[in-house]
C-alpha cells in the first residue's frame, strides 16, 4: 500500500528530482522517466545465451515450449508462435477464410495494424466507434455495422482493458461471425475471470513495449484445430513437411532466441501485471478530482492489466494535451499519445475513400495522453509524476483566467433562447433542429431526425452525443453528453437520458421517463410513461416496461457506493407500477405483474406477482405479435447479458 503525505510532495530528493527551472540543453543530461520500459534481467540474458551457444537458432524446441506455456496460460488448446502481432492478425484472418469481398468490423481507434491486417486479405475494414470511458469498441454500434457481407469482427482490448465480451460474443453468435481478439496489449487481462484470447481467435504481440516481450514476436491462440493447423502452414511458406508446400504461405516464424526470452518472461507475467495494476491504482487515486483530467475507468468484472495508463486532457484542464506533454517532458517525464490520428483519418484510408465520422474516436484522439505506469517505476517515481502533473496544471492559471465562463460549463443554460455555444458542434445532416435547441459539446444527429423546441442536447462542452437517423425527440427532453443512441428513437415529452448510456434501434421512451447514467438499452425496447431506470441497468432487446415501472438502487444516496442496476432480459414484460430491486435479473420472456416488488431473480419464461413478488406455477404464455410491444414481423434478436 502507498502511504502518501503532503511532505512527500515537497521533499523528493531522488535522482529524478527536477524543477521547472532545470531545463536541460539536451535530453540525455539527466535520466528521463520513460513511458514504457521492458522488464529484462539476467534470466533473459542466460536463456538467450544458452540458445546462441546451442547453435539451434530458428524455430525449434524453445518455440514449441513457449507455445505450450502460452496456450496453458490463456486457456486454449493451441498457440501458434509468430514473428509479430501484425502477423498474428493477418494469419488469423486468412485461417478463418476471410478474403476478397468480405467485410470485417473493427475499431477506428487502435494501432493501424488492427485494420491493415484486413486489407492484407483484400477484405474491407468497416469501422464502429468506441465507448468514451473504456476506449473499446461500442457493442451497439458494432451491431449496427453488421451487413450481409460481414465475415468477421476484430475487437481490440485497448491499453489492456477487455471489451464487453458478453455482448460481442452474442452479436457474433447471432450473425455467425468469426470473432478475432486483438489482445496485443492485453496479456493476462480477464473478462469475468476468463482470459482474453480465449473467447475467439486470440492475437498477441511481444513487441519491446508490451507487458512481456521477445523483442519482436506474436502469438495466435485458439481452440479450433483447423485454425491452428492452417496458421502453422501459413507461417512457414505453406510447408507441411520439409520442402512440401501445400498452400501459398509466408515467412512469419519465431526464432528460438525470441522464444527463450518469452519463456523467461512468462514466469514473471503475473507479477509484472500486478505491479502495473498497483501503479495504476496509485496514479488514479492521486489524480482523481483534478478538473479536466479524466482518469481511466475499469469496466465491471474486468481485469485491466494497464499496458498503458491513458488519461484524457479535456478543455477544462487549462492546458491542451500537447502542452501538458511538453510540460512533463521539461520535468523529465516522457509521455505517449496512443493514438493521435484515428485509423479512418490516416492518409492511407483517406486515399482508399474512407470519409466516415466517428466522433468519440476523433475526440479522444485529441485528448488522450499516456503516463508512465510500467513495472520499473519506484514509489518515488510515481509521486514525482503526480507532483509534476499538478505543478504543470497550477502553472496554467493565466490561461484558465482567459477561458470566459468555463467555471459554469457543467451547468445547463436556463434560457431556451440560448442556442449552440461557440465551442459546440452540431452535425445534423438533414435533421430538423429548431433554432432554440440548446447544444453543448459535439452532437451528431442522423439523417431524417426531428427535434422539437426546448430540447437540450449535451451537457458538457468537451462531450460527444450521437443520435441515430429518424429519431423523433419531443419538447422538454434532456439528453446528456456521452450518450449513444441508435436509429428510430421516439421519445415523449420531458424525457431525461443521462451520461454514458447506450440505446439501441427503434426504442420508445415515454413521457417523463428517466434513464439514469451508464444504462444499456437494446433494440425495440418500449418504456411507457414515468418509467425510471436507475444507473447501470441493462434492458435487452424487445423488453416492455409499463407505466411507472422502476428499477431502484438502495445505495443510490450513499456517497461513493458502487451502484448496481437491474437486468431485464430479452422479451421480458414488466407491468405498471412494478419495482425491481438492485442486482435482480428478470429472465427472458418473463412477466412481472402490475404492482409487483421484485426482490430476487426471476427465471426465463416465469410469471411473478405480488409484494414481495412470488413466482406463479407454469410459464408465461407466448403472446402474438399483434399484442406484443414488438412490432409485428420483428423478432427480438439474441443478446447476452
Q: What is the mean pLDDT of residues 540-562?
A: 75
Q: What is the mean pLDDT of residues 589-610?
A: 94
Query: In whole angstroms, how far apart are CA 432 and each of 242, 315, 457, 469, 552?
Result: 67, 29, 14, 11, 36
Task: Determine the Cα–Cα distance for residues 319 and 390; give it in Å rounded to an integer.
Answer: 11
356 or 302, greater pLDDT: 302
Cα angle 366, 371, 372 (rounded to 5 degrees) comes to: 150
Domains of the chain: 6-28+272-401 (3.90.1150.10), 42-269 (3.40.640.10)
Banded model confidence at residue 426, pLDDT cuts 50, 70, 90:
low
Banded model confidence at residue 485, pLDDT cuts 50, 70, 90:
very high
Residues contacting 489, CB < 8 A, separation 6+ = 467, 468, 471, 472, 473, 503, 506, 507, 509
**Which sign does the torsion angle of CA 169, 173, 177, 179 carry?**
positive
356 or 200, greater pLDDT: 200
- Is the predicted pLDDT of residue 139 greater than 90, yes or no? yes
615: helix, strand or coil: strand
Instruction: From 234, 231, 282, select the one nearest 387 (Cα to Cα).
Output: 282
Query: For a pLDDT cut of 90, what percent of the chain falls above it?
Result: 73
Banded model confidence at residue 620, pLDDT cuts 50, 70, 90:
low
Query: In whole angstroms, how far apart are CA 494 and each of 448, 478, 545?
Result: 21, 7, 18
- What pTM does this model have? 0.68
Helix, strand, coil shares, percent, the chain, to 5: 25, 20, 55
Per-residue model confidence as pLDDT tens digits over 13-50: 333 333 333 333 334 434 789 999 999 999 999 999 99
Q: Which three cell numbers stand for residue 96?
A: 478463418
User: Within its chain, how far is the Cα of 618 from the centroid?
Assistant: 41
Give the per-residue pLDDT at 420.
41
Give the per-residue pLDDT at 557.
45
Per-residue model confidence as pLDDT tens digits over 83-113: 999 999 999 999 999 999 999 999 999 999 9
What is the distance between the terminal CA atoms of the chain, rounded to a whole angstrom?
A: 35
Tell me which H or E stretch contains 274. Answer: helix 269-287
Give the per-residue pLDDT at 630.
34
- Is the predicted pLDDT of residue 208 greater than 80, yes or no? yes
- Is the predicted pLDDT of residue 169 greater than 90, yes or no? yes
- Is the predicted pLDDT of residue 625 greater than 90, yes or no? no
Give the per-residue pLDDT at 488.
94
Give the per-residue pLDDT at 295.
95
Task: Determine the Cα–Cα distance for residues 34 and 43; give it in Å rounded to an integer.
Answer: 23
Per-residue model confidence as pLDDT tens digits over 249-275: 999 999 999 999 999 999 999 999 999
204: helix, strand or coil: strand
* Lowest pLDDT segment from 315-329, 347-361, 401-415: 401-415
Task: Determine the Cα–Cα distance for residues 252 and 420; give it in Å rounded to an integer.
Answer: 54
175 or 28, greater pLDDT: 175
Banded model confidence at residue 641, pLDDT cuts 50, 70, 90:
very low
Task: Determine the Cα–Cα distance for residues 201 and 339; give it in Å rounded to an integer.
Answer: 25
Give the highest mean pLDDT range of 17-26, 155-164, 401-410, 428-437: 155-164
Provide the mean pLDDT of the chain.
86
Q: How many CB atoms lie within 10 A of CB 608?
A: 26
Banded model confidence at residue 399, pLDDT cuts 50, 70, 90:
very low
Give the per-residue pLDDT at 10.
31
- Is the predicted pLDDT of residue 439 greater than 80, yes or no? yes
Banded model confidence at residue 408, pLDDT cuts 50, 70, 90:
very low
Q: Is 147 left (phi over 0), alpha (psi -120 to 50) or beta?
A: beta
Task: Determine the Cα–Cα distance for residues 195 and 186; give it in Å rounded to an integer.
Answer: 9
- Is the predicted pLDDT of residue 195 greater than 60, yes or no? yes
Q: What is the mean pLDDT of residues 159-183?
A: 98
- Is the predicted pLDDT of residue 617 greater than 90, yes or no? no
- Is the predicted pLDDT of residue 622 greater than 60, yes or no? no
Task: Determine the Cα–Cα distance for residues 396 and 577; give it in Å rounded to an integer.
Answer: 52
Bridge-based pairing of strands 573-574 and 591-592 is parallel
Banded model confidence at residue 236, pLDDT cuts 50, 70, 90:
very high
Burial of 449 (C-beta count, 10 Å sphere; 0-12/13-18/19+)? buried
* Lowest pLDDT segment from 200-204, 234-238, 434-438: 434-438
Maximum alpha-carbon separation in the chain = 81
Q: Which three cell numbers stand for residue 34?
A: 520513460
556 or 332, greater pLDDT: 332
Instruction: From 153, 152, 125, select the one nearest 139 (Cα to Cα).
Output: 153
Residue 612, preceding bond cis, omega within 30 degrees? yes
- Is the predicted pLDDT of residue 584 greater than 90, yes or no? yes
Q: What is the mean pLDDT of residues 273-280?
A: 97
Task: Determine the Cα–Cα distance for residues 188 and 167; give it in Å rounded to an integer.
Answer: 21
Place of cell 524453445: 62
Give the per-residue pLDDT at 639.
35
Banded model confidence at residue 431, pLDDT cuts 50, 70, 90:
low
Helices and strands in the chain, H and E counts: 15, 43
Tell me which H or E stretch contains 234. Answer: helix 225-235
What is the DSSP secondary structure assignment for residue 600, as one 8-state letter?
Answer: S
What is the DSSP secondary structure assignment for residue 158, as one 8-state letter?
Answer: G
Q: What b/e string do you get for 183-208 counting C-beta neighbours within 10 Å, with b at 16 or more?
A: bbbbbbbbbeeebbbbbbbbbbbbbe
Task: Determine the Cα–Cα distance for residues 423 and 431; give it in Å rounded to an integer.
Answer: 21
Give the per-residue pLDDT at 579.
95
What is the DSSP secondary structure assignment for residue 231, as one 8-state letter?
Answer: H
**Do residues 174 and 132 touch, judged by C-beta distance below 8 A?**
no
Instruction: From 112, 39, 33, select the one nearest 325 (Cα to Cα).
Output: 33
Q: Give the total residue count for the chain.
A: 641
- Is the predicted pLDDT of residue 435 greater than 80, yes or no? no
- Is the predicted pLDDT of residue 464 greater than 50, yes or no? yes
Residues contacting 452, CB < 8 A, separation 6+ = 434, 473, 474, 475, 477
Banded model confidence at residue 8, pLDDT cuts 50, 70, 90:
very low
Tell me which H or E stretch contains 54. Answer: helix 42-54
**Do residues 282 and 382 touch, judged by C-beta distance below 8 A?**
yes
Task: Determine the Cα–Cα distance for residues 471 and 449; give it in Å rounded to an integer.
Answer: 4
What interhelical angle do 42-54 and 256-266 show, nearest 10?
A: 150
Q: What is the mean pLDDT of residues 301-328?
A: 95
Amino acid at each position: 500500500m502507498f502511504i502518501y503525505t503532503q511532505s512527500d510532495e515537497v521533499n523528493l530528493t531522488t535522482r529524478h528530482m527536477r524543477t521547472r527551472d532545470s531545463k536541460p540543453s539536451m535530453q540525455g543530461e539527466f535520466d528521463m522517466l520513460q513511458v514504457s520500459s521492458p522488464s529484462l534481467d539476467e534470466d533473459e540474458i542466460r536463456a538467450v545465451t544458452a540458445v546462441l551457444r546451442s547453435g539451434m537458432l530458428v524455430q525449434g524446441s524453445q518455440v514449441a515450449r513457449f507455445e505450450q506455456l502460452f496456450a496453458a496460460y490463456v486457456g486454449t488448446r493451441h498457440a501458434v508462435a509468430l514473428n509479430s502481432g501484425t502477423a498474428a492478425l493477418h494469419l488469423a484472418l486468412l485461417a478463418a477464410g476471410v478474403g476478397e469481398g468480405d467485410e470485417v468490423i473493427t475499431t477506428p481507434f487502435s494501432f493501424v495494424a488492427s485494420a491493415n491486417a484486413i486489407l492484407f486479405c483484400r477484405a474491407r475494414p468497416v469501422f464502429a466507434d468506441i465507448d468514451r470511458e473504456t476506449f473499446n469498441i461500442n457493442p451497439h454500434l458494432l451491431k449496427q455495422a453488421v451487413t450481409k457481407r460481414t465475415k468477421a469482427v476484430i475487437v481490440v482490448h485497448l491499453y489492456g482493458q477487455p471489451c464487453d465480451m458478453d455482448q460481442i460474443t452474442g452479436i457474433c453468435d447471432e450473425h455467425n461471425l468469426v470473432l478475432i481478439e486483438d489482445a496485443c496489449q492485453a496479456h493476462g487481462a480477464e473478462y469475468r475471470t476468463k482470459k482474453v484470447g480465449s473467447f475467439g481467435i486470440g492475437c498477441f504481440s511481444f513487441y519491446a513495449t508490451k507487458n512481456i516481450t521477445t523483442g519482436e514476436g506474436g502469438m495466435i491462440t485458439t481452440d479450433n484445430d483447423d485454425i491452428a493447423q492452417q496458421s502453422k502452414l501459413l507461417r512457414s511458406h505453406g510447408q507441411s513437411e520439409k520442402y512440401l508446400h501445400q498452400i501459398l504461405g509466408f515467412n512469419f516464424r519465431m526464432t528460438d532466441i525470441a522464444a527463450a526470452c518469452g519463456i523467461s518472461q512468462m514466469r514473471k507475467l503475473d507479477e509484472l501485471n500486478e505491479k502495473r495494476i498497483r501503479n495504476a491504482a496509485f496514479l488514479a487515486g492521486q489524480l482523481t478530482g483534478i478538473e479536466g483530467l479524466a482518469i481511466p475507468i475499469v469496466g465491471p468484472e474486468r481485469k485491466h492489466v494497464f499496458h498503458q495508463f491513458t488519461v484524457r486532457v479535456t478543455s477544462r484542464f487549462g492546458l491542451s494535451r500537447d502542452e501538458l506533454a511538453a510540460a512533463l517532458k521539461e520535468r523529465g517525464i516522457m509521455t505517449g499519445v496512443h493514438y493521435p490520428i484515428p485509423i479512418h483519418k490516416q492518409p492511407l484510408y483517406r486515399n482508399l475513400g474512407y470519409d466516415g465520422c466517428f466522433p468519440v474516436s476523433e475526440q479522444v484522439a485529441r485528448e488522450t495522453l499516456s503516463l508512465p505506469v510500467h513495472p520499473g517505476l519506484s514509489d518515488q517515481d510515481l509521486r514525482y509524476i503526480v507532483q509534476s502533473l499538478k505543478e504543470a496544471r497550477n502553472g496554467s492559471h493565466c490561461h484558465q483566467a482567459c477561458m470566459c465562463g468555463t467555471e459554469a460549463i457543467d451547468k445547463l443554460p436556463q434560457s431556451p433562447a440560448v442556442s449552440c455555444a461557440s465551442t459546440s458542434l452540431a452535425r445534423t445532416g438533414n435533421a430538423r433542429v429548431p433554432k432554440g435547441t440548446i447544444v453543448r459539446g459535439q452532437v451528431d444527429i442522423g439523417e431524417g431526425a426531428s427535434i422539437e423546441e426546448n430540447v437540450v442536447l449535451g451537457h458538457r462542452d468537451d462531450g460527444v452525443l450521437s443520435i441515430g437517423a429518424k429519431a423523433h425527440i419531443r419538447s422538454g427532453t434532456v439528453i446528456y453528453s456521452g450518450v449513444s443512441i441508435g436509429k428510430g428513437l421516439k421519445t415523449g415529452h420531458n424525457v431525461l437520458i443521462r451520461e454514458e448510456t447506450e440505446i439501441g434501434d427503434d426504442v420508445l421512451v415515454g413521457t417523463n421517463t428517466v434513464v439514469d447514467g451508464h444504462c444499456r438499452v437494446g433494440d425495440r425496447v418500449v418504456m411507457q410513461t414515468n418509467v425510471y431506470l436507475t444507473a447501470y441497468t441493462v434492458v435487452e432487446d424487445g423488453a416492455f416496461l409499463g407505466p411507472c415501472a422502476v428499477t431502484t438502487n438502495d445505495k443510490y444516496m450513499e456517497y461513493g457506493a458502487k451502484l448496481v442496476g437491474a437486468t431485464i432480459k430479452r422479451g421480458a414484460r414488466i407491468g405498471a407500477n412494478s419495482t425491481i430491486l438492485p442486482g435482480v435479473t428478470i429472465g427472458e420472456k418473463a412477466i412481472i405483474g402490475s404492482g409487483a416488488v421484485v426482490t430476487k431473480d426471476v427465471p426465463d419464461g416465469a410469471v411473478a406477482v405480488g409484494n414481495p413478488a412470488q413466482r406463479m406455477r407454469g410459464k408465461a404464455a407466448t403472446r402474438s405479435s399483434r399484442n406484443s410491444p414488438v412490432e409485428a414481423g420483428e423478432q427480438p434478436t439474441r443478446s447476452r447479458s
